[in-house]
Structure 1
Amino acid sequence: MNALVQSLAAMSGLRDRDALDAALVRLVIDSSEGAVRSATLIRVVGEGDDRRCLLQAHLEAGQTQVSRDLLWTDWTTLPHVSDFPLRQLAVERARAVHSDAAPHAAVVPLLTSQGTWGLLDLGAAHALTTHTLDLVEGILLTYNNLLGLLDYGEKDALTELLNRKTFDGAFFKATAEQHGDELPEGGERRHADPDAGVWLAVLDIDHFKRVNDTYGHLIGDEVLLLLARLMRSSFRFHDQLYRFGGEEFVVLMRCDSVGHAQTALERLRERVQAYVFPQVGTITVSIGFSVLLPHDTPSGAFGRADKAVYHAKEHGRNQVCSYQALVASGELVDQVAEGMDVDLF
């Protein structure tokens, strides 16, 4: 079997996005017959003049180590797309661009209906031929299709937030990065912040059953969809947003302190309360959150945040409650100290 076909077949079997990104840059270099000397996969984050480059995967020809930025990279440390003229040009034109003068390079955009979400930046010793660029674009088309299949399996059909079945893997990756247990493939970590923590928040819509009973499930679905949009606009690009089912949502986010986590969640709560939902009017949410602990489990962290949500609902709703603060005040008993654990369902 042709080596390129074998590599594409192997890539199509990957279900981890980091592994898929690493496989992409390897395949681009290996299939170029020495023409491509480096391959850099960039995720474009931000909008307008504040578009920035998040490193998804970088590989030099002849090397085995693939480097990447950590998921929780500080936004302010990322370089602007405009710092790289060829990348900026590829975003503006929404098509592949290349430089014939040394240093030789080409940048191929990855596109969706909303615009450019990523860039593949290629370094070369000589100007890349049309054949090589066509080959790279074909590989990228396959890669984009594979990402689409992953999205289909990992996202909630209604809200397009992440779904429940993707949570455990993301949780363990987040805890590994938080406590320094995981390195990117090849061992190189970039932009790590040892002082930050990862927080899990559970969000529940107050009196959502009343919405469904009064206005019907179509209006209820519209409320869920609009809430998901409010969540996206309230959190950062690397915060992970989930719909667990019904009116229950989960957020995984990295913050510098409990105060910053509380502020982010209060901002969402206030935006939801201020938003006028069509036909329904005002909707409120109750939120509970907990910091992730060393050797934590998905069910353990979820259980702590869920206890805080229950406390919020029992004490007036439309509020944000920290599990650790409730334990410190004596309003809750620490389930970790009690040796308790819960199942998500």
Structure 2
Amino acid sequence: MNALVQSLAALGGLRDRDALDTELVRLVLTNSGVNLQAANLIRVVGEGDDRRCLSLSALEQGQEKPSRDLLWSDWSLLPKVSDFPVRQRALEIGRAAANPQDLGHVVLPVGQAQSLQIMLEVSSPKPLQAADIDLLQSILLAYQNLLGLLDYGERDSLTELLNRKTFDGAFFKATADQSNTLPANMPERRHESPDAGVWLAVLDIDHFKRVNDNFGHLIGDEVLLLVARLMRSNFRFHDQLYRFGGEEFVILMRCESAVHAESALERFRERVQAYVFPQVGTITVSMGVSVLSPNDTPSSAFGRADKAVYYAKEHGRNQVCNYQTLVAEGKLVEQVVDEMDVDLF
């Protein structure tokens, strides 16, 4: 019990989600006091019949380092929740579910029944008792509370998108993952395009000051909330969405090519333009995008996309502009990165 208490205390000091997921699985497997062979923390992505399983951290006894699916995993290669009856059952009932043929195989959902997105799957050589499941559920409650604290510090209070101060860490993780392939447990993975990479897009709501001036800040806040909601429904589960402040948003996404990146942004631009905002009517957005380059920094990548946004706003607004394309066409001068480039975020 002392080891469990110490491990729970150590969890409370973690501020990185990947590290928290890894240490939770390690704690459950080695210090919970429950005799387990394996543990897998799973994030549920997607909706309805197309919900899929993304492994956040998986560990077996004797395995030193946990494995995980990359955040940029191809959606179509992730296994469906419906392919795993015990996982499906746990999500449906909102509490622990066991395999009737193997009572040592249990899935425990994390969170409230209305918003279940994470579950812990454990395997034991012996049937798990009610006391074992209660203990694991208590550990998951502590984990859930820690996630809530991280959300409080990492999310914009108005839109609940990621906030600006979390951007640097996510940026460097994204660039580090650029050269990685999907895990070996996905042998049928598709061959990735040589043009694949990570793109950073900056989004600015056109004439947003007029909205605040003409309708008031409460309506302006409603517009920001609705734009954020459209962003969440338009982009993929692994695209990282930020509000940088005011009417400025940032999207960090992995795409097969510049064409795919621009197409995704163009679809969103069209969707915003077609949406009828209460009292305000039509709103448009201008966007600039830039591919991340080797040894890039957050400030230099943001600066390139931001220049493309300014170009879009100065040349008609309501459009998507690619920084590299503008440079190639001679419409912008290539941004020179100073070796002493300072990160201002």
TM-score (norm: length of structure 1): 0.94
Pair 1:256 & 2:252 matched: no
Structure 2 distance, partners of 1:217, 1:7, is: 46
Distance 1:130 1:258 in 2: 53
For 1:41 and 1:84, locate their aligned partners in 2 and report how far apart those are by CA, in whole Å.
Answer: 14
After the TM superposition, which segments of 4 or more aligned residues of structure 1 sit over 6 Å from their partners? 187-192, 337-340
**SS of the counterpart of 1:70?**
coil
Report the counterpart of residue 220 of structure 2 in structure 1.
Answer: 220
1:308 is matched with 308
Counterpart CA distance in 2 for 1:344 and 1:215 is 33
1:10 offset after TM fit, Å? 0.4
**Greater shift in the superposed pair: 98-107 or 9-18:** 98-107
Deviation digits for residues 105-144 of structure 1, max 9, x if unmatched? 0000112363321111111111011121111000000000
Segments of structure 2 that go 5 or more residues without pairing to the other structure are: none
Equivalent residue number for residue 161 of structure 1: 161
Other-structure match for 2:50: 50
1:199 — aligned with what?
Answer: 199
1:200 is displaced (CA, Å) by: 0.2
Amino acid of the residue matched to residue 271 of structure 1? Answer: R
RMSD: 2.2
Partner of 2:119: 119
1:31: Cα distance to partner?
2.9
Find the counterpart in structure 2 of residue 149 from structure 1.
Answer: 149
* Shift in Å, 1:343: 5.8
- The one-character-per-residue Cα deviations of 1:46-101 (angstroms, maximum 9, x if unpaired) are 11111100010000012211000111111011000111111111111111011353
Displacement of 1:104: 3.0
User: Which whole-Å CA distance do the structure 1 matches of 2:159 and 2:298 have between them?
Assistant: 22
Q: In the TM superposition, what whole-angstrom CA distance separates every residue of 1:265-316 from its partner, at most 9, and x where no partner exists?
A: 0011001111111111111000000000010000000000000000000100
Q: Which residue of 2 aligns with 1:277?
A: 277
- Counterpart CA distance in 1 for 2:221 and 2:278 is 12
In 1, Cα distance between equivalents of 2:268 and 2:74: 20
The aligned residue for residue 140 of structure 1 is 140
TM-score (norm 2): 0.94
Q: Is the 8 A contact 1:303 1:341 kept in 2?
A: no
Q: Which amino acid aligns with 2:85?
A: P
Aligned residue type for 1:26: R
Query: What are the superposed Cα offsets for residues 26-62 of structure 1, whole Å, 9 maximum, x if unpaired?
Result: 1111134461110001000111111100010000012
In structure 1, the residue matched to 2:39 is 39
Quote the residue 1:95 is aligned against: 95
SS at match of 2:117: strand
Could you tell me how far apart the structure 2 residues matched to 1:321 and 1:95 are?
Answer: 47
Cα 1:333–1:124 change in 2 (3 A) is same
- Matched residue SS, 2:53: strand
- Residues of 2 paired with 1:296 and 1:340: CA distance? 13
Residues 204 and 233 (structure 1 numbering): CA distance in 2 closer, same or farther, change over 3 Å? same
Task: Go from structure 1 to structure 2 and tell me whether the alpha carbon gap of 1:323 and 1:269 turns closer, same or farther (over 3 Å shift).
Answer: same
Between the aligned partners of 1:309 and 1:344, the Cα distance in structure 2 is 19
1:70 to 2:70 alignment: yes
Aligned partners of 2:4, 2:276: CA distance in 1, in Å?
53
Q: What is the CA–CA distance in structure 1 between the aligned matches of 2:68 and 2:94, rounded to whole Å? A: 24
Distance 1:167 1:259 in 2: 24
8 Å CA contact 1:67–1:189 kept in 2: the answer is: no
SS at match of 1:159: coil
Cα distance, 1:323 vs structure 2: 0.2
Q: Which digits, 9 at most, give the CA deviation of each residue in 1:166-208, with x for residues without a partner?
A: 000000000011134xx99xx9897795742100000000111
Q: Structure 2: how far apart are the matches of 1:78 and 1:178?
A: 19
Q: Which amino acid aligns with 2:300?
A: G
SS at match of 1:4: helix
**CA offset at residue 342 of structure 1?**
7.4
The 1-side partners of 2:98 and 2:249 are apart by 44
Which residue number corresponds to residue 327 of structure 2?
327
Moved more, 217-226 or 190-199: 190-199
Aligned to 2:6: 6
